[in-house]
């Protein structure tokens, strides 16, 4: 119902190739998340799938049908935009009903579906308001409501939560995951927030400059990043990278250790350094350790109760089975 296959898809704007040849398969019912730094082509890729941009070459199949030349309205996909793109002069009810109206469904069916979507999204009390009279989170839900009434083959989300405050974001994140559990419809979700990516995705697609760096489940990417870029991109705080002699002892050009895989102690451990800034989150504390002779800064995560201070010299022990090794090309050594 919602299997999307991209074959050798490329996209250029003028002379600039934004997406070099790219192959990707998104299975039916999957929650796929595109992540990558700003400007890497996430939105462009999503818009290619939606049909809002034409591919320069290559083929897009939706449900086994070649959809490359199919106009957006006929692809059976629904998109939720970053700015929500609600119609400001229509009531919430009319906004949600708009796709149904365009599909010329009869009025009773339109009402039924709108009421149903509103109930799912807790919008029933707001149906007669204008979008301008809603909060950010409510607008977001209206945008999702407008998408679900069409019963699309797949949902496309372009950074839908980036305009919301932190608390609302967590809430909406759960709601979207919940929605996916319930509808079991394919969802493609663009974000540059890797917490969103890790928590929501069945499959993460890491992009850099239009290239797919790695595709896999969140834990796969976390446990065995294919290269330095993915290793640095997935995980927060960022993985520590160490080059030179220390890496050499592990038979690698560079090694990477996540902050949560380094134990700290006052007196023993192979690495040592001086505590700089420490970030107290309550449950955890992140120490930024300098003068280690390994890398400029090493970030370590410790229990919230560990009380080192600025300027203390501490010792660190990396967990042996959690050291990632990379060769000179930045690729993972198995």
Partner 1 sequence: MATQHSRSAARMMMAPAVILLLGWMLVPLTMTLYFSFKKYLPLRGDSLAGGLDWVGFDNYTRFVTSSSFWPSVQATLIIVGGVLVVTVVLGVLLAILLDQPMWGQGVVRILVIAPFFVMPTVSGLVWKNMFMDPVNGLFAHLWKFFGAAPLEWLSQASMQSIILIVSWQWLPFATLILLTAIQSLDSEQLEAAEMDGAPPLARFGFIILPHLSRAITIVILIQTIFLLSIFAEIFVTTAGAFGTKTLTYLIFQRVLESQNVGLGSAGGVYAIILANIVAIFLMRIVGKNLDA
Ligand X SMILES: Nc1ncnc2c1ncn2[C@@H]1O[C@H](COP(=O)(O)OP(=O)(O)OP(=O)(O)O)[C@@H](O)[C@H]1O
Residues binding ligand X (CB under 6 A): 13, 18, 36, 38-44, 192
Among partner 1, Mg ion, ligand X, none, residue 78 binds (CB under 5-8 Å by kind): partner 1
Residue partners of 98: CB distance under 8 A and separation at least 6: 87, 90, 146
Closest distance of CB 83 from partner 1, Å? 5
The footprint of partner 1 on this chain (CB under 8 A) covers a number of residues equal to: 24
Can you tell me the distance from the alpha carbon of 59 to that of 24, in angstroms, rounded to the nearest whole number? 11
- Any contact of residue 85 with partner 1 (CB under 8 A)? yes
Q: Which stretch binds partner 1 (CB under 8 A): 97-105, 161-169, 170-178, 222-230?
A: 97-105
Site for partner 1 contains 89 (CB under 8 A): yes
Partner residues linked to 72 by β-bridges: none
Q: Are 142 and 87 in contact (CB under 8 A)?
A: no
Residue 323's Cβ-count burial label (10 Å; 0-12, 13-18, 19+) is: middle
Question: What DSSP designation does 239 have?
Answer: P
Distance CA 330, CA 324 (A): 11
Q: Is 99 in the site for partner 1 (CB under 8 A)?
A: yes
The reply on whether position 141 binds partner 1 by CB under 8 A is: no
Cβ neighbour number for residue 177 with a 10 Å cutoff? 16
**Which of partner 1, Mg ion, ligand X, none does residue 18 bind to, with CB < 5 to 8 Å depending on kind?**
ligand X
* Least distance from ligand X to the Cβ atom of residue 50, Å: 12
Q: By C-beta, is 82 or 297 nearer to ligand X?
A: 82
Binder of residue 38, out of partner 1, ligand X, Mg ion, none (CB less than 5 to 8 A by kind) = ligand X
Q: Residue from 43, 95, 140, 292 that binds Mg ion (CB under 5 A)?
A: 43
* Residue closer to ligand X, measured from CB, 90 or 209: 209
C-alpha span between 237 and 195 (Å, rounded): 11
d(CA 197, CA 171): 15
**What is the nearest approach in angstroms of partner 1 to the Cβ of residue 82?**
8
By the rule CB under 8 A, 150 interacts with partner 1:
yes
* Distance, CA of 332 to CA of 260 (rounded, Å): 20
- Give the interface with Mg ion as residue ranges (CB under 5 A): 43
């Amino acid at each position: 119902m919602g299997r999307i296959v991209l074959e050798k898809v490329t996209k250029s704007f003028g002379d600039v190739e934004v997406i070099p040849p790219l192959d990707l398969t998104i299975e039916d019912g999957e929650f796929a998340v595109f992540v990558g730094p700003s400007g890497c082509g996430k939105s462009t890729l999503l818009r290619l799938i939606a049909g809002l941009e034409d591919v320069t070459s290559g083929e897009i199949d939706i449900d086994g049908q070649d959809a490359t030349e199919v106009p957006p309205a006929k692809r059976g996909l629904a998109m939720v935009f970053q700015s929500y793109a609600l119609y400001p002069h229509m009531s919430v009810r009319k906004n949600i009903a708009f796709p149904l109206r365009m599909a010329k469904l009869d009025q009773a069916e339109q009402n039924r579906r709108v009421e149903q979507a509103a109930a799912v999204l807790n919008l029933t009390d707001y149906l007669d308001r204008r979008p301008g009279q809603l909060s950010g989170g409510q607008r977001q839900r209206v945008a999702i409501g407008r998408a679900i009434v069409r019963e699309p083959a797949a949902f496309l989300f372009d950074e839908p939560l980036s305009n919301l405050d932190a608390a609302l974001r967590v809430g909406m994140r759960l709601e979207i995951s919940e929605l996916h559990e319930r509808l079991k419809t394919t969802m493609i979700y663009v974000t540059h927030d890797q917490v969103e990516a890790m928590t929501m995705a069945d499959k993460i697609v890491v992009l850099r400059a239009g290239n797919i760096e790695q595709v896999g489940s969140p834990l796969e990417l976390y446990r065995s990043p294919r290269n330095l870029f993915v290793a640095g991109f997935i995980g927060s705080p960022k993985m520590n990278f160490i080059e030179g002699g220390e890496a050499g002892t592990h038979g690698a050009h560079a090694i990477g250790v996540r902050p949560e895989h380094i134990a700290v102690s006052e007196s023993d451990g192979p690495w040592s350094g001086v505590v700089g800034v420490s970030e107290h989150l309550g449950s955890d504390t992140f120490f930024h350790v300098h003068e280690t002779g390994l890398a400029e800064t090493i970030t370590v995560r410790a229990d919230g109760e560990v009380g080192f201070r600025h300027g203390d010299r501490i010792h660190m022990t990396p967990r042996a089975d959690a050291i990632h090794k990379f060769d000179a090309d930045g690729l993972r050594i198995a």
